[in-house]
Chain A
Amino acid sequence: MSGIVLRNFRAKRGGFAVGPIDLEVDYGERALIYGPNGSGKTTILLGIIGAADADGGVSVAGQEISSLPIHERGVSYVPAHPVLPGWITVNEMLRMTGRRETAVDLLERFNLGWARNRPTNALSTGERKLVQILVALSSDTKALLLDEPFSNLSRSWASRLEELLRSEPRPMMLTHHEWIPKFDKYLRLPLTVQEDG
C-alpha cells in the first residue's frame, strides 16, 4: 500500500494550472517539489488538501481522498509562513490538534518547552514557524505536506529539522525554491519526475 499517490493530477489556482503529475511517495519516503517562485509548488499542495481546484486521482494510504473535506483527508498541510492563531497558547493548540506527549517531546528537542504556555503571537516568526511544523508532526494524520519548511528558520534549526524529518515514517512532500540533496523523490517545476536524486 502506497503512501501518497497522484495519478494524472492537475491543480489550478487563480487561472494558473500545474500538471499532469504522476507520483508515488511511499511510507518513510520524502519527495521534494522544487522550482522558482510562481511555478506552482504551493498550488500542488493546496490541490492535494482540496483547497485549490484539482482533477485526477489523489490517494493516501490506499484511500481516494479527492471527494473528502479537508479535515477528513488525513493529510497535514503546513503553510510557508507562520499562521498559528496568535490569541491561543501553544498548549491549547496542542490540545486541539495533536498528540500532546509527542509534541511536548518535540518542543523540548528544540529547546522550545518554555513556549508551551505562551500565546503564539508572543513568539518570534522563526519560533512560530517551527512550532507549527512540530504541531503538524505530532498530529495523527497519515501524510505530511510542508510548504517551504526551512524558510524563516536559523541554520541550526533548519538542519535539526531536516534530521527530524528524515526519521519521520509517514510519506511526506516538501517544497523548496531550489534542489536539496538526500531526498527520495524529486519533482522539478516545470515538470520532471526523477527517482533517487
Chain B
Amino acid sequence: MRDLSIKTPLYALAAVVAVPIAVLFYSAGPVGIASSFEDPQFISSLGLTMLGASIAAALNAALGTPAAYALARGLIRGEGALYDLLLSPVSIPHTVVGIMLLIMFSPASPLHYLLGSLNPLDTLWGMILAMFYVSAPIYVMSMREHFERSDLEMERFLGSLGMSPSSIFYSVILRGSLGSIARISLLSMGRAISEFGSIVILAYSVSMAPLFYYVKPATVLIWYKYDVYGLSAAVGYASALLVVTLILSLLAYLASED
C-alpha cells in the first residue's frame, strides 16, 4: 500500500506524458507519418530545422561545456548570480525572447550602430540565435550537474601537481566527459527543434540560396498547417516531427554516461 502511494504520482506523470504521444501517433497512423516524410515541403522544413538545431547544439557544447565546468567548480566570482542569469531564458516567455532578439538589431536598439548591418529576420542565423538562446540554459544546467557529480579528489590531485583548472579541464575532464557532452547536446538539440515562440517571430520563413527558399522551420510549418488548413492537416507533420525528437531522445539515452 505504501509502495503504491509513492509510485502513483510517478505512474500518473508517465501517463500524462505518454498518452498524448500515443493518441497523436494513433490519429496520424503509419501512412500519415510516412507520407509526411515523403512530402518535399516537410523535408525541406525538417532539413532547415535539423541544420539550425545541430549548429545551436554545437554552440552549446563549445561554449556551454567550459561555462558549466567553471560554474560547477566555483571558478568565477559571483557564480550563483551568473548561473541564475544563464538560466533565466527558461522562465522568459519565448515570444518575448523573439521580440527581444529582434529589437536588439532594429533601429530602435541602442546597439543599432554596432549591429544594424546584421538582420536576423527570416535568416538561418536568426533561427540559430533563437534556438541557441532557448536551449543553452538546459545544456549548461545539465552539464553543471554532470561536473558536480564527477570526482573532485582527482582534480585536487592533478591541481596539487601544478595543473591549472583550465589545463585539468581541457586535458583530462573534457575527454572523460565526451559521453555526457554527446547526451546533453542531443537533449539540447531536441529543445532547439521544439522551439516555436521565438522562431515564429524571428524566422517565420527562411531563405538561404541555394539550399532554402522561403522554408518554414518545422514547428512553424505545423502551426501554419493547423492555422490555415485545420487540425487534420497538421497531425501528420506533428507526428513525423515527434518521431524525429523521440529518435534524438533515444540516441541521448544510448549515449554513454562516461
Identify the A interface with B (CB < 8 A): 46, 49, 51, 69-71, 73-79, 81, 83-88, 96-98, 132, 135-136, 139-141, 145
B154 touches A75 (CB 8 A): no
With an 8 Å Cβ cutoff, the count of chain B residues facing the other chain is 19
A70 touches B172 (CB 8 A): no
Known interface pairs A71-B160, A135-B161; 10 further A-B residue pairs with C-beta atoms within 8 A, sorted by A's residue number: A71-B164, A75-B160, A79-B156, A81-B153, A83-B151, A85-B172, A85-B175, A96-B158, A97-B162, A97-B163
Chain A residue nearest to B171 (CB atoms) is A96
Chain B residues within an 8 Å CB radius of A46: 156
B159 at the A interface (CB under 8 A): yes
B89 at the A interface (CB under 8 A): no
Identify the B interface with A (CB < 8 A): 151-154, 156-165, 167, 171-172, 175-176
With both chains docked as a complex, state the minimum distance between the C-beta of A119 and any C-beta of chain B, in angstroms. 11
Chain B residues within an 8 Å CB radius of A98: 161
Complex CA gap A139/B158 in Å reads: 10
Chain A residues within an 8 Å CB radius of B157: 77-79, 83-84, 132, 136
Answer whether A96 and B176 are a contact pair too, CB < 8 Å, given A51-B156, A77-B157: no
* B157, B158, B163 — most chain A CB neighbours (10 Å): B157
Chain A residues within an 8 Å CB radius of B175: 85, 87-88
With both chains docked as a complex, state the minimum distance between the C-beta of B149 and any C-beta of chain A, in angstroms. 15
Complex CA gap A51/B165 in Å reads: 13
Chain B residues within an 8 Å CB radius of A77: 156-157, 160
B172 touches A96 (CB 8 A): yes
B153 touches A83 (CB 8 A): yes
A-B contacts, 20 of them at CB < 8 A, read A49-B156, A70-B159, A71-B165, A79-B157, A83-B154, A84-B157, A85-B154, A85-B175, A85-B176, A86-B176, A87-B175, A96-B163, A96-B171, A97-B158, A98-B161, A132-B157, A135-B161, A136-B160, A140-B162, A145-B160
